[in-house]
């Protein structure tokens, strides 16, 4: 085997800071992270195995003590925990959580920005439409206690690290230090976390933006992270021309109240499991 079997996975939650964690790990000299984030190695690509992951996304391995991958969908997908445990039982799993009310609103903005939802698909309507698959998936993404305890049934709690987006925002270097220590590498390394990732913006011109996204997405899926990083400045400029940060809508008070009621009980269970007060959440 020309690579070290992956032993660190960022499993979620989506829209909660996983990209920042991934990039912090990529910068560490003793960590080899997959060249692509969201490989789905225990999801749609599970049958391809770890050799597929290594051949396609870990070919840059140069003897680092930690190799890893980041797919946010692994957290919610019930079979993923079992598949991980059967394939890499000694792996360490990192999770980062965000106020679930803010998380689902951020995911809505992301899907509007990416063209997966249109302007006619209103947030207030979507979160109340019990027949909507979008609602089912996105509300369930924020029921963190259910997902974490499912992983705990397959892994020892010491193999799981749970971080909070609030802490990442307030003290990113401290969170990076905590993550490095959990991974078993030098925690004193200081990554560059100055760039904000995945900022929620909204399209200015719906038709043009959807057309650009349709052309770009298949290309993006074939590119490694190094190419994406090298073209980041140009891509940011194009994004800024086609989207508008000021158009980012605030959540309506009635929607916030509705979601708070849905998440109240799950959040209390999570607080007890974590031993951490989450009173700052909505």
Asked if 149 and 30 touch (Cβ cutoff 8 Å), the reply is no
Q: Phi and psi dihedrals of 111, rounded to 5? A: -70, -30
What is the model's pLDDT at position 56?
A: 92
Asked if 31 and 90 touch (Cβ cutoff 8 Å), the reply is no
Query: Collapsing DSSP states into helix, strand and coil, what is residue 67?
Result: strand
Distance from C-alpha of 225 to C-alpha of 219, rounded to nearest angstrom? 12
Task: Please state, in angstroms and as integers, the Cα–Cα distance from residue 240 to each residue in 71, 204, 212, 215, 279, following that order.
Answer: 26, 9, 13, 17, 35
- Cis peptide bond N-terminal to 138, omega within 30: no
228 CB-contact burial (10 Å; exposed 0-12 / middle 13-18 / buried 19+) = middle
Task: Tell me which residue of 123, 258, 138, 140 sits closest to 202, measured CA to CA.
Answer: 123
- Cis peptide bond N-terminal to 92, omega within 30: no
Query: Per-residue pLDDT for the chain (282 aa), expressed as one digit of tens each?
Result: 456 889 999 999 999 999 999 999 999 999 999 999 999 999 999 999 999 999 999 999 999 999 999 999 999 999 999 999 999 999 999 999 999 999 999 999 999 888 889 889 999 999 999 999 999 999 999 999 999 999 999 999 999 999 999 999 999 999 999 999 999 999 999 999 987 555 555 565 555 655 665 565 666 666 655 666 556 556 556 656 666 654 456 899 999 999 999 999 999 999 999 999 999 998
Distance from C-alpha of 267 to C-alpha of 279, rounded to nearest angstrom? 10
pTM: 0.85
Location of structure tokens 């445990």: 85
Q: Return the CA Rg of the chain.
A: 19
Domains of the chain: 8-100+143-198+266-274 (3.40.50.300)
Distance from C-alpha of 259 to C-alpha of 198, rounded to nearest angstrom? 23
Q: Which two tokens stand for residue 175?
A: 């969170």
């Amino acid at each position: 085997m020309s690579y070290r079997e992956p032993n660190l996975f960022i499993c979620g939650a989506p829209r909660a800071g996983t990209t920042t964690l991934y990039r912090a790990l990529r910068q560490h000299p003793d960590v080899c992270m997959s060249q692509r984030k969201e490989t789905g190695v225990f999801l749609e690509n599970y049958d391809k195995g770890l050799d597929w992951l290594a051949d396609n996304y870990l070919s840059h391995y140069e003897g680092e003590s930690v190799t890893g991958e980041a797919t946010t969908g692994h957290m919610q997908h019930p079979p993923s925990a079992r598949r991980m445990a059967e394939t890499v039982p000694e792996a360490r799993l990192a999770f980062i959580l965000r106020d679930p009310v803010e998380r689902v609103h951020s995911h809505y903005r992301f899907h509007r920005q990416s063209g997966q939802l249109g302007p006619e698909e209103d947030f207030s309507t979507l979160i109340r439409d019990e027949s909507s698959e979008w609602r089912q998936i996105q509300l369930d993404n924020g029921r963190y206690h259910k997902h974490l305890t499912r992983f705990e049934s397959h892994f020892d709690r010491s193999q799981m690290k749970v971080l909070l987006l609030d802490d990442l925002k307030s003290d990113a270097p401290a969170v990076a230090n905590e993550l490095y220590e959990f991974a078993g590498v030098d925690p004193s390394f200081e990554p560059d976390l100055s760039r904000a990732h995945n900022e929620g913006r909204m399209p200015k011109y719906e038709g043009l933006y959807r057309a650009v996204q349709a052309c770009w997405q298949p290309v993006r899926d074939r590119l490694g992270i190094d190419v994406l990083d090298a073209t980041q400045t140009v891509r940011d400029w194009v994004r800024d021309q086609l989207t508008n940060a000021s158009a980012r809508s605030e959540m309506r008070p009635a929607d916030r109240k509705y979601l708070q009621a849905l998440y109240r009980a799950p959040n209390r269970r999570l607080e007890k499991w974590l031993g951490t007060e989450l009173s700052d959440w909505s």
